[in-house]
Every structure is written in C-alpha cells, then in structure tokens.
Structure 1
C-alpha cells in the first residue's frame, strides 16, 4: 500500500474517496484525465493515486491542488486537461491502437426533439444506457414531429405534414373521452387513491392511442456511453443514409467533444458503411422479386434452434467444474440418461431467487426468431440489446395491429381511417423519396425483425416483457417466444419465468 505525506494527502484528497484503502473512487476529474489514469495501469508500476499526484505536482494536468472542494463543486481549473494528457491519448489511443483506453471516459448526452426512427438508430448501439420519453406516461401534441427536409420542393411534402398533423389531432381528440371510458370499465378499488386510479387509467388510454403516433414523432432520450462506443456510434450515424441521423451525428460529435475531445477526434463518415448500404439496397432491388403480403403470418416464428440442446447445456454447466476438453465432455454428457441431464440443469437453475438471473452457461445456446410486430412494440423489444437484431422498416405491406381496446371503445372506424390515410401518404412519399416514407406511418404498422438471442437473455426478455405491467403488444410477443421454446425444447422452457395471463389494466 502506497503511503502519502500530509502535504500529498492534502493534494490528493479532493480527487479520491479515500487515501489508504485498495478500493476507491475517482471524483472531480475530467473524463479524459480518468482515462489517462486508468491507462497508466498497463504501463506503470505505480499506484493510480501516485500517478495522479505526480501529474498534479509536475503541472502536467490543469488541476488545482487544493485541500478542499468549494461549495459550488470542483475547482474551476478542473475543466480542461493540458497538453500532456492530450498527447498521451494521441500516442496510445491513435498511435498504438489502444482503443480500450477510451472506454474509461464516459459522456452523458441529452438528445431532444429527435424522431422515433432516428432514436432507434441511436439505440442500436449495444454498449450504452438509454432512457427515452414514454408513450405511456406522456401525451404528445401536434407540433412534435420531424419535418423531413428531403421532401422540400416535392408534392409529397404537404401530404406528409397534413397526414401527421391529422394523426396527432385524432390522438389528442380521442384522449379525454378514452380516459373516462377506461375509468368506467375499471372503477377505483378500495385500496387505490383517486390519483393512482387516474394515472393507471390515463396510462391505459395512452397505451391504446400510441398506435396512432407517426414514426416521425419527436422524442427525447438520455445517453450514457463510453468514449470508444461513442466514436463507433458517431461513425455509424455520420455514414447513415437518413439526413436526420447524419445531422444528429454532427450535433452529438460537437457536444461530446466538449467533454472528451481527444477520444472523438477521428469519428467521421465511413466509406465502407455508406457505400455498402447503397450497394446492398441496389442488389436487393435487382435480385429480389416483390411479393404480396403473407396472409395470416404468425407474429413469432422460431427459425433456428440449437441441436442437442439439453446435452449442450448440461455440458456447458459442468465444463468449469471439470478438466475435460469440450468434445470429450459433451460426448460423455450425451451418454447421460434423460434424468441425469435434467438433474444437472435443475441443480443449476432451481435455486434462483425471485430476482436472480440464470448463470452464464445458458449463453452457449442461441435461438433465432423472426418477429412480425407493430413498430411501437418494437421500440420496447429493441431495448434488449444483448442480442443480434436485423430489422426491416415498417411498411403498409405488413398491415397494422388493431388493438382489441380500439374495437371495445368504439373507435375502430376512426382508427382504420387514420391507417388508410397514412398508407396512402406512404405510397406518395415512397415514390418521391423512398427512404423517408416510414416517417409517416403510425406505430401500429408492423415491421419484421430477425433476432438471435442466447438462452440466458431469453429468460430475461420473456420474464420482463410478459409481466403484468407490460404493453399488450410486446407481452404477446414474449408469450409467443416462450411458447415456441416450450414446443421445441420443453425441458429448457420449464425454467423460464413467464406470465401467460391477460390483463385489462396492467398498472392498477
């Protein structure tokens, strides 16, 4: 353990949570300085605190060595690292390819007035955390949609604006009466407050009406992401075919460079990404024939499942507790009786508490599903990013979801009219600018998505998304995913926690 003099302790105290323990947190330091300090672990025999002290006392960082932090926060000099920190990043991150250093710097970014379509591009990045404006708790107004500069100067521009404004007007006109109708169907219980009852009924009404919101609806989201992942995200965005996404990429880069400038210096459009997107689109149009919509297409289809799944899982469970090579161990487990394999799997999973996730051996089994789902529900499903997702954009070809409650509350005629108007607008916009046509479609319209999950993540997805408080659209997807696994591998499905009930008001 490194020991510090009284003067050294006074210098270090503002920046670390303790001076004498092997575990401590860093505080009041710029993100790039933190990345430098962690990077020194791979190049220095000294402790982090000693390296930080050396940087401060040598004047290599623009830090004020004070014995206390002012009431307003960190000293004003903490705002910027000086040239040596920058040169360190240039040398190790750029010169020697040590990109992992950038993972120690984190940016917190607020992105407001971004379309739902663009938000899905951002949220494709696995290694980040997102919080997005909720369609369940927030009502949207007629001004909250992206204007599509690609359509300026075309006849389709007026069609787009008129259609999305009509969708918002219908959404807002229906909301008050729908809240009251839900309240009549679901009277307040004796243990429920008036406010709690109103909140639950309003959420139910907004869940129904979210199907009317166009995909061009503006949303807000918060992002927490490390520098390495952010550079990759920016590169993807700057290379994207949609104008909105490219502009957002530039704005994100500008603001993030104010926090971690060196780590994002080389984020720029990528020719491979941009050109391959164009080439694949052209090739698909040349090689693939247009087809009519599939009638009665199932919402969930299991298209690929592991062979010999029970033996594979049992062997994966036993692997870390043995010294045998995989092939030998798997062959041995294949000769187990059914009861022996079941005992291994049961011993691995049966001790789980109510909040315990399965252990990691389940990640060795993967399942691929093709899911046909309304775009509103896809927004929630996409959040399970520990998976490989390949999606098609929503299209009138796949039809739209008709919620049972739309029929129940007598607004189907209005709902269908909105869908038909949006489909007609889509056709006109597609003729002018194909890539932006999905912006006009309500969230009720369906898209296909191909998702490969490992079995451990499937446990998480099914349990969370089938829960009572979930939206009916994705609850049914989660239930159908469970049923598909149960039909294919019933022994493995028996350990998945699923709620197969239906609920009229999930958040009472």
Structure 2
C-alpha cells in the first residue's frame, strides 16, 4: 500500500507570492493558515484578506490559534476550511468499501468496468501455512477464470453486436461490457486505487474510525494518512485513536445480536420496509411551504382539498423547465422510503456512492448465493462461473473457521450482502435518474427499476416523473 498526498488547498495570494519570488516562505504552504484566518472572522472586525495575510506571516501563531479554537474551545467546524487530497494506491476492494462509507468526502475510484485487471491482489496479514496456500490457490483460480471469461465474452459480444463494434466508440462500449461481467469472479482482495478529497474535520473522524476497524489494512491506511498530514498541518488533526465507543460498542452489540435466535434468511432482492402512506399529500404540502405558503397545516389542508388532477398538475408545475440534470426541489425531501436490499459486491460498490441516503450494511454471507451476469449464461460460460463460485465457497468456509476476520477477502464480486437504506423522494429522483438510465450498469439498473416501480405504486402523484434520464419526459 502507498499513500501520496496529491494536493491541498492553499491561499491564492500565497500562490501569487510564489510566482513573483524565488525566496518564499515554505512554512506558509499549509491549509492551517486559512483555518486560523477564518476562525477569527466572527470576532475580528478587520477584512478577511487582512486576517489571511496575518495568518500567513505568523504560521506558528496560526497553529496555536487552531489548536486552541478547534480542540480547546471545541469549534471543530474551523477545521473544515482545510481541505486535503490524497492518492490511495494498492488498497483491496474490501477495504475500499470501509473507507468510502464516509459521507463528507469525495472519492473517484479505479473502475473494474473500464480497466482490464492485472491479477494484483492483497495477501492480508494473518494468513499463514495451509490458509495462506489455500487463499493464493483460490485467487489464482478466480483470476484465471476472469481472463477466460473476458476473452470469451468479448468474442461473444463482438459477434452479437457486430454493427455497434464497427465504430470505435461502440467497440470501447462493448469491450467494457465484457470486462464488467467477467469481473464478477474476481475477489474482494483485488487491489484498487482512488483519489480522496476531504476536509480536516471529517478526516480526523475517519482516522479515528479507521483505528477501530477489524481490517488491519484499514488501520494501516489511517496511520499512513496521519503521517502525511501531521508533517505539514499538525494543528488541525489531533484525536485519531479509537475510543471505547468506537470499539467496545461494536463488539458488545455483535455479541448481543449473535445471541438472538433467528429464522431463515430472506433472499428478496428488494423489500419495502416502511414508508409514509400519506406521502403524496405531505410532499405537496412541503412544496407549497417551500415556495411561500408559510403555514404547514394550512398548506396540507389545501392539498387535501385538491382533486387528483389538480395534484398531478401541481407536481408538473413543481418540475416545469427541469432538465434531466436538474434536482427536484427540496419539498421532495419530506417523503421517506426504507428498503432492504440484497446486493452483490459489484452492485454495492456503485450503490455506496449515494452517500446522502442512510445506509446500514450487513455482512457478506454465502448463504445468500451469488448473482450471475446474464451474458455469461447466454454465452454458454456458466460452468466456468459456477466452478469458481464453488471453489470460493469451499475456501471461505475453511477460512471462516480459522481466520474469521479475514475470510471476506476471498469472496467474489458476485457474492452478496444486505443493505438497509432510507432515501427521501428527492434522493430517489436523483438515484433513479442515474441508475435506471439505459447506460447504467445492468446490476444496479435492475435494483433501481424495482425501487422505481415500488415508489411509483406507493406515491403515484409525486413520483410521476421518476424515471431514468434517457426516458426524461419534461
């Protein structure tokens, strides 16, 4: 694993100073000066640019100020003005899932959909002897199958879509289809890389949570990131060690859950858990409130007096002039749906990016089975796929007994976990627009279409324009 600090935000006037002088002060090349300057805004009447100038010229004073304000007085939001960018290279897909759960950060990841994989994978610390031998043997079987499937799927799809691949763009698209379906047999130990941008306050929270991770790989990542940051910005990140709340809480709750008897597991891909049965009326009332009807009870009563046609017209008015890339108004946030989803690792890798929704993930479980891409069966390749899954499941069962915290690394992108997700209607509009589009990856598109159909059935008025952006009607 390698962590590179790719960049960080510095004062624009510092950049100008560098342009005009070869004898510059390297000490002020730190985001700490911005945090210190902005912290003074609330109590110092001078113009902000003067505060920034003073902060740049007195870096040590700025650092002391940050420490006092952020950690002494508890004004943690000051640290949000320091923004950092990282290259994270050589992290497993399993660890990536843990890192990218955090809402207040931005990630761009290496895509297994567009890039041909090169058999690189992580050997987790803790495997030895027969376990290590079995782990490596299974990974080799998976990776060998990936290349066989990719080559065979490419031939099959190029023949099936011969007209499309006659053009350069079409060839790239169809080749991507072969890659995205072949990857279902590779493991969660497969290495990845991504760019991460995050403010210092969120980063401190991430590092503290990393220190409590059950994955040593994630713990090591946290230490590597802190080492990079602490060298040039020591005053904005301080508390990175796990607390009892971070570690013992998880342990105690898991022990409690494991002691509770459970019945057979549901294998439904999408299950509606809860929703507000009056969602149409409440969302419409919220839309009216947003645009000037400043008494909610009166707005709600007015909506109840409308006919179905009038309600539909109100929804149309609320989305008039909207293009497929525009968000619906905030009034749509006042209607929630909670779903339980059964997602493959491939699907979850995409779904987790919708971080404004509330997501609670369950563990991967081989009892949920796997999901085979349709093209693999169409091309007569299901025996290769099934042999890999059988080998993987056998290895997983053995590793789960001897190394339970590491066993998930051997699972494939086709294995599944449950996710409890709550999304308001505004987020659902965004999600469905992207994921029910014809260009979306098929696995998440299938889930999105099921969500769309459920929502349109339960909230037919306010969800009448809930559709993929390729079908956008307005």
Among 290, 300, 311, the alignment partner of 1:330 is: 300
What are the residue-to-residue correspondences of 1:30-429 with 2, within 5 Å? Answer: 30-55=30-55, 59-60=57-58, 82-142=59-119, 144-153=120-129, 155-189=130-164, 193=167, 195-289=168-262, 291-294=263-266, 297-322=267-292, 324-429=294-399
CA change 1:325–1:421 in 2 (3 A) is same
How far apart, in 2, do the equivalents of 1:136 and 1:428 lie? 30
Go from structure 1 to structure 2 and tell me whether the alpha carbon gap of 1:90 and 1:14 turns closer, same or farther (over 3 Å shift).
closer
1:492 is aligned, of 462, 465, 468, to 462
Q: For the pair shown, which has the larger CA radius of gyration, 1 or 2?
A: 1
Structure 2 counterpart of 1:474, from 444, 451, 468: 444
Change (3 A) 1:259 1:125: farther
Q: Which moved more, 1:372-381 or 1:351-360?
A: 351-360
- Partner of 1:401, secondary structure, is coil
Q: Tell me, in whole angstroms, the C-alpha distance in 2 between the residues paired with 1:285 and 1:357.
A: 42
- The answer for the alignment partner of 1:4 in structure 2 is none
How far has the Cα of 1:446 moved from its partner? 1.4
Q: Structure 1: which 5+ runs fail to align?
A: 1-10, 18-27, 61-81, 502-508
Give 1:326 shift: 2.8
Q: Displacement, 1:500?
A: 9.3
Deviation at 1:346, TM superposition (A): 2.2
TM-score w.r.t. structure 1 length? 0.84
Partner of 1:21: none
Q: Distance in 1 between matches of 2:190 and 2:399?
A: 17
TM-score (norm 2): 0.90
Do the aligned residues in 2 keep the contact of 1:141 with 1:172 (CA within 8 Å)?
A: no
Q: CA deviation at 1:440?
A: 0.7
Task: Give the C-alpha shift of residue 43 in structure 1.
Answer: 2.0
- Output one character per residue of 1:112-153: Cα deviation in whole Å (capped at 9) or x when no partner: 1111111011110101110001011112222x2221212235
CA RMSD of aligned residues (A): 2.2
Judge conservation of contact 2:312–2:462 (CA < 8 Å) in 1.
no
Q: Is the 8 A contact 1:238 1:246 kept in 2?
A: yes
Could you say which residue in structure 2 is the equivalent of 1:73?
none
Larger mean CA deviation between 375-384 and 255-264 belongs to 255-264
SS in 1 for 2:466: coil
1:491 to partner: Cα distance: 1.6
Does structure 2 conserve the Cα–Cα contact (< 8 Å) formed by 1:227 and 1:260? no
Q: CA deviation at 1:262?
A: 1.6
- Structure 2 CA distance, aligned partners of 1:132 and 1:169? 24
Deviations 1:380-426 (A, max 9, x none): 01100011101112211000001111111111001001001101111
Q: Secondary structure at the match of 2:393?
A: helix
CA distance in 1, matches of 2:13, 2:345: 51
How far off its partner does 1:277 sit? Answer: 0.9
Query: d(CA) in 2 for partners of 1:281 and 1:12?
Result: 49
Shift in alpha-carbon separation, 1:272–1:203, aligned structure 2, 3 A: same
Instruction: Name the structure 2 match of 1:483.
Output: 453
Counterpart in the other structure of 1:460: 430
Cα displacement (A) at 1:259 = 4.3
Could you tell me how far apart the structure 2 residues matched to 1:367 and 1:222 are? Answer: 32
Question: Helix, strand or coil: the match of 2:337?
Answer: strand
Aligned pairs, number: 451
Query: 1:366, 1:395 → 2: CA distance?
Result: 28
C-alpha distance in structure 2 between counterparts of 1:89 and 1:495, whole Å: 48
Maintained 8 Å contact 2:85/2:195: yes
Q: Deviations over 1:141-190 (max 9, x none)?
A: 22x2221212235x322222211121011112332333222111111449
Pick closer, same or farther for the CA change 1:310–1:429 going to 2, 3 Å: same
1:97/1:412 CA distance change after superposition, 3 Å: same
* Matched position secondary structure for 2:372: coil
Contact 1:301-1:484 within 8 A present in 2 as well: no
Report the more deviating stretch, 100-109 or 44-53.
44-53
Q: State the Cα distance separating 1:292 from its structure 2 match.
A: 4.0
